[in-house]
């Protein structure tokens, strides 16, 4: 990919069709960062090359970083465009409406050609899909005012399946309803905090409207948000996808020195749909959130600390 092919003058950001047909736009801030009056952002990611630009979707310091993100965007352009537009909207919505908007966007991508290709690639090559591991559970214990909630499925990297999802909702709802619970500690059993959603359950609900309805009733993030002011999360090892999305609702989020963080959803033709677009935007801002989603890159614990993603490193 030639980065220069995607660099567009800021003057082209007008309500016409000058940007039509592009799946990604790069702007060079060395020529100025002010949008012209009446300008409109295109329905694709806008990557700004420079230091500061409030209106861009992602700001990167050098051409190499811009090229890496743009290359990934061009593999799944429709999903990347939906992600960029959703993240532009979220700062203007409260948390509850943000979760609704995120679920709508996720449902849209569930029915997309890009996600369908990913699903078919898995089902067409069954030898690549391992048998589903045994289900997990959520263990809950209380001591005084502290409620400990532990994801217990270490044999599957604490991948979140339906029993775990339902158990998390129950635990967080309990905490939300009981004001004598002063701290909710969320932990993962074993070497990983969570590898995210169980991929064996992807595609089990193919109708996007039904999937949206289910998320509205059973999303752990919605319950976690109700007790977020008391939520304490510590991450060890891998913290991926929906596990990361949930962790970011914490009032205090710490990590071990070997922890790492990743949002791989774009490579599936979808977006982080477990409440993560909302939680990350509120935690680190929409531009860093976009950079993490659109690049798909891992963050080390120290990088996460420098981003303000975690509050402290705790061995």
pLDDT tier for residue 66 given thresholds of 50, 70 and 90: very high
Q: Is 90 among the domain residues?
A: no
Residue ending a domain, among 22, 54, 75, is 75
Q: How many helices (H) and strands (E) does the chain have?
A: 11, 12
pLDDT at 125 over 80: no
84 in a domain, yes or no?
no
Is the model's pLDDT at 100 over the cut of 70?
Answer: yes
Angle at 195 between CA 190 and CA 198, to 5 degrees: 115
What is the Cα–Cα distance from 228 to 211, expressed in whole angstroms? 25
Determine the pLDDT at residue 31. Answer: 76
What residues have CB less than 8 Å from 222, skipping those under 6 apart? 96, 99, 275
Question: Do 16 and 152 sit in the same domain of this protein?
Answer: no
Mean pLDDT of 149-163: 97
Q: Which of 17-31, 82-96, 188-202, 263-277 has the lowest mean pLDDT?
A: 17-31
Q: Give kind and range of the element (H or E) at residue 276.
A: helix 276-284
Q: Is residue 233 part of a domain?
A: yes
Q: What is the dihedral of CA 106, 216, 310, 67, to 10 degrees?
A: 0
Last residue of a domain, one of 17, 49, 75: 75
Is residue 168 located within the same domain as residue 66? no
Residues 118 and 236 in one domain: yes
Q: Is the pLDDT of residue 117 over 90?
A: yes
In a domain, 23, yes or no: yes
**Residues 171-186, mean pLDDT to the nearest whole number:** 97
Structure tokens belonging to residue 256:
């071990």
Q: What is the mean pLDDT of the chain?
A: 92
Beta strands in 2-95 (DSSP E): 25-28, 46-49, 58-60
Which of 27, 58, 75 is the last residue before a domain boundary?
A: 75
**Based on the structure, what is the number of domains in the chain?**
2
Q: Is residue 83 part of a domain?
A: no
* Consecutive H or E run containing 254: strand 252-255
Is 136 in the same domain as 211?
yes
| Closest alpha carbon to 147 in 173, 176, 106, 175 | 175
CA distances (Å), 124 to each of 26, 129, 203, 222, in order? 36, 10, 13, 35
Contact 160, 198 (CB under 8 A): yes
pLDDT tens digit sequence for 208-263: 999 999 999 999 999 999 999 999 999 999 999 999 999 999 999 999 999 999 99
Q: Is residue 300 part of a domain?
A: yes
196: alpha, beta or left? (left if phi > 0; alpha if psi -120 to 50):
left
The pLDDT value recorded for residue 72 is: 95
Pair 70, 115 in one domain:
no
- The CATH number of the domain where 268 resides is what? 3.90.226.10
Global pTM value? 0.93
Pair (131, 7) in one structural domain: no
Residues 27 and 126 in one domain: no
Give the pLDDT score at 126: 59
Task: Give the model's pLDDT for residue 200.
Answer: 85
Query: Do 63 and 156 share a structural domain?
Result: no
Residue 98 resides in a domain: no
**Euclidean distance between the first and the last CA atom of the chain, given in angstroms as a whole number:** 41
Distance, CA of 158 to CA of 45 (rounded, Å): 32
| pLDDT over 70 at 207, yes or no | yes
- 128 and 51 share one domain: no
* Strands lying side by side in the sheet with 137-143: 137-143, 146-152, 183-188, 231-235, 252-255, 312-313
What residues make up the domain containing 11? 3-75
Which run of H or E residues covers position 239?
strand 238-240
Locus of tokens 């959603």: 197
Cα atoms in the Cβ-side hemisphere of radius 13 Å centred on 120: 7
pLDDT digits (tens, 9 = 90+) for 2-39: 777 778 877 777 766 667 788 999 999 887 778 877 78
Assess if residue 93 is contained within a domain. Answer: no
Name the band, by pLDDT with cuts 50, 70 and 90, for residue 315: confident
Same domain, 163 and 69: no
Given a cut of 60, is residue 57 above it in pLDDT? yes
What span, in angstroms and rounded, lies between the C-alpha atoms of 123 and 71?
A: 26
Share of the chain above pLDDT 70, in %: 95
> Measured between alpha carbons, how far is 11 from 215 in angstroms, rounded to an integer?
41
Statement to judge: residues 69 and 189 lie in one domain: no
Q: What distance lies between CA 30 and its chain's CA centroid? A: 30
Q: Which helix (H) or strand (E) holds 114?
A: helix 113-123
Does 172 share its domain with 33?
A: no
206 — pLDDT class (breaks 50, 70, 90): confident
Pairing of strands 260-262, 299-300: antiparallel
């Amino acid at each position: 990919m030639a980065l220069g092919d995607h660099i567009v003058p800021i003057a082209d950001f007008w309500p016409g069709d000058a940007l039509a047909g592009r799946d990604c736009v790069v702007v060079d801030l060395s020529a100025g960062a002010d949008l012209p009056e009446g300008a409109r952002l295109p329905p694709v990611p806008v990557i700004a090359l420079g230091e500061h630009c409030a209106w861009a979707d992602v700001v990167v310091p050098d051409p190499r970083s811009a090229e890496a993100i743009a290359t990934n965007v061009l593999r799944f352009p429709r999903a990347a465009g939906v992600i960029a537009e959703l993240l532009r909207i979220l700062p203007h919505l409260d948390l509850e409406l943000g979760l609704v908007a995120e679920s709508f966007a996720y449902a849209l991508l569930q029915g997309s050609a890009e996600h369908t290709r990913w699903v078919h690639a898995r089902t067409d090559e069954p030898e690549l899909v391992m048998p589903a591991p045994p289900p997990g559970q959520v263990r809950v214990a209380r001591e005084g005012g502290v409620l400990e909630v532990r994801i217990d499925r270490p044999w599957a990297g604490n991948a979140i399946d339906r029993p775990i999802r339902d158990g998390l909702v129950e635990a967080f709802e309990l905490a939300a309803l009981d004001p004598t619970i002063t701290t909710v500690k969320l932990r993962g059993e074993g070497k990983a905090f969570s590898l995210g959603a169980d991929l064996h359950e992807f595609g089990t609900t193919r109708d996007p409207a039904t999937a949206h309805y289910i998320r509205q009733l059973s999303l752990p993030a919605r319950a976690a948000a109700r007790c977020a002011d008391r939520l304490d999360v510590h991450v060890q090892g891998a913290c991926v996808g929906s596990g990361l999305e949930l962790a970011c609702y914490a009032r205090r989020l710490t990590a071990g020195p070997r922890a790492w963080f990743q949002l791989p959803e774009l490579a599936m033709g979808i977006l982080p749909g477990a409440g993560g677009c909302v939680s990350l935007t509120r935690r680190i801002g929409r531009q860093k959130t976009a950079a993490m989603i659109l690049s798909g890159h891992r963050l080390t614990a120290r990088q996460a600390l420098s981003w303000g993603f975690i509050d402290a490193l705790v061995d």
